[in-house]
């Protein structure tokens, strides 16, 4: 694992050849929006490609929904530009933008059938009846609801209602589909199924999807790239793997997945933790000697070894079995938080065991944002 550079950009490493870069569809340039003294968006800049599944990820209040609403036309930025291809979106009223927003609540008409809900927007546009029927039939087949076309929303499951809302959004063939927490109303099992379904549908219909979520698992499983936001600013834009393996700062390292971290300094190419000493890390080469830094080790990279045989020693405080793997919490003297290690299957360790900890690689981040 390689470390980010001090500026927050991942260090250059050899990697397999990538597919040709797709053309930019949506460009957000230095967009700002304030509500009184609250700076909801603070100079946001993003480029989103054609046919990309892009996620805006961050905690509540980070600005992701304000950005989504600005793209849709329900918020007007104080400064900056938003362009869709050659079109200036900010110069267009919401109903003229080739953009559709799928709301969190789905907002289906309860008195209409599935087919009528999907056809509603096309009828408002005044399209011929034959074309409406053909497009509704096509999208019903795409989302797997042809047999339920005559049912009403109350007769559907949560996952089926979600598909109806998605069908209603894509039947108008927008260039860009915005989804605001689209799976939050579903239970865990259905949500996992719909994550795969959304990804399949996005590939099939060939529309650029931008999804807002606070659920990192949701973003990581669906998106081609993710923008992590905090305090109205973009912290990092990268693929799920790059975010996880090369976080640009401490906020991203903590927010994406679980991590074990130690505060310390960098000295002569080594990471030095107070009270512990020098620790293995291959991520210090781009960090200035004497700099304060944090060493981050993911739970799956932490190895449990016999007491005294590792670089740290501790005592097992908890073991959680989670099906295919177990999480072992190890209390290390002088550290406020226990270290977490992921081991396959059933853990051999038990509560109260004295163990050692070691790892092969780690990432060093220099940004103290937490």
User: Does the domain at residues 24-245 carry the CATH identifier 3.40.980.10?
Assistant: no
Nearest to 234 by CA among 29, 97, 79, 18: 29
Sorting pLDDT into bands at 50, 70 and 90, what band is 8?
very low
Domain definitions of the chain by residue range = 24-245, 258-365
3-class DSSP state for residue 324? Answer: coil
What is residue 193's predicted lDDT score, i.e. its pLDDT? 78
How many other C-beta atoms are found inside a 10 Å radius of the C-beta of residue 289?
A: 11
Pairwise pLDDT comparison (312 vs 197), residue with the higher score: 312
Model confidence over 347-362: pLDDT tens digits?
999 999 999 999 987 8
Model confidence over 139-186: pLDDT tens digits?
898 888 899 999 999 999 888 888 898 888 888 888 999 998 877 767
Residue 187 to residue 183: CA distance in whole angstroms: 9
From the options 3.50.50.60, 2.40.50.140, 2.30.30.90, 2.60.40.730, give the CATH code of 258-365. 2.40.50.140
List the beta strands (DSSP E) in 85-201: 87-88, 99-102, 176-180
**Full-prediction pTM beyond 0.75?**
yes
Domains 24-245 and 258-365 share a fold: no
What is residue 66's predicted lDDT score, i.e. its pLDDT? 95
In Å, what is the CA distance from 278 to each residue of 6, 85, 266, 295, 325?
20, 51, 9, 11, 30
């Amino acid at each position: 694992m390689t470390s980010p550079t001090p500026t927050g950009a991942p260090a250059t490493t050899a990697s397999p050849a990538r597919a040709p870069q797709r053309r930019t569809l949506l460009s957000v340039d230095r967009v700002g929006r304030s509500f009184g003294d609250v700076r909801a968006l603070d100079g946001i800049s993003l480029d989103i490609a054609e046919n990309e599944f892009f996620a805006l990820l961050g905690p509540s209040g980070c600005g992701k929904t304000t950005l989504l609403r600005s793209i849709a036309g329900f918020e007007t930025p104080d400064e900056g530009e938003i362009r869709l291809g050659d079109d200036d979106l900010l110069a267009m009223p919401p109903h003229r933008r080739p953009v559709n927003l799928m709301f969190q609540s789905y907002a289906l008409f309860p008195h209409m059938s599935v087919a009528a809900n999907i056809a509603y927007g096309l009828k408002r546009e005044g399209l011929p009846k034959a074309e409406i029927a053909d497009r509704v039939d096509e999208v019903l087949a795409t989302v797997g609801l042809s047999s339920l076309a005559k049912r009403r929303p109350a007769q559907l499951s949560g996952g089926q209602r979600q598909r109806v809302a998605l069908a209603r959004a894509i039947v108008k063939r927008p260039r860009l589909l915005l989804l605001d927490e689209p799976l939050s109303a579903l239970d865990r099992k259905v949500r996992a199924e719909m994550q795969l379904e959304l990804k399949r549908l996005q590939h099939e219909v060939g529309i650029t999807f931008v999804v807002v979520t606070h659920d990192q698992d949701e973003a990581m499983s669906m998106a081609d790239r993710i923008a992590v936001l905090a305090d109205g600013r973009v912290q990092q834009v990268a693929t799920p793997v790059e975010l996880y393996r090369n976080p640009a700062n401490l906020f991203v390292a903590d927010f994406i997945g679980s991590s074990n971290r130690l505060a310390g300094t960098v000295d002569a190419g080594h990471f030095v933790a107070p009270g512990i000493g020098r620790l293995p890390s291959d991520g210090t080469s781009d960090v200035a000697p004497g700099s304060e830094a944090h060493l981050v080790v993911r739970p799956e990279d932490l190895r449990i070894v016999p007491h005294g045989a590792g670089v740290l020693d501790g005592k097992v405080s908890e073991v959680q079995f989670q099906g295919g793997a177990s999480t072992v919490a190890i209390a290390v003297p002088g550290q406020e938080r226990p270290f977490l290690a992921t081991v396959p299957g059933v853990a051999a360790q038990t509560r109260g065991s004295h163990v050692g900890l070691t790892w092969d690689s780690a990432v060093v981040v220099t940004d103290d944002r937490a």
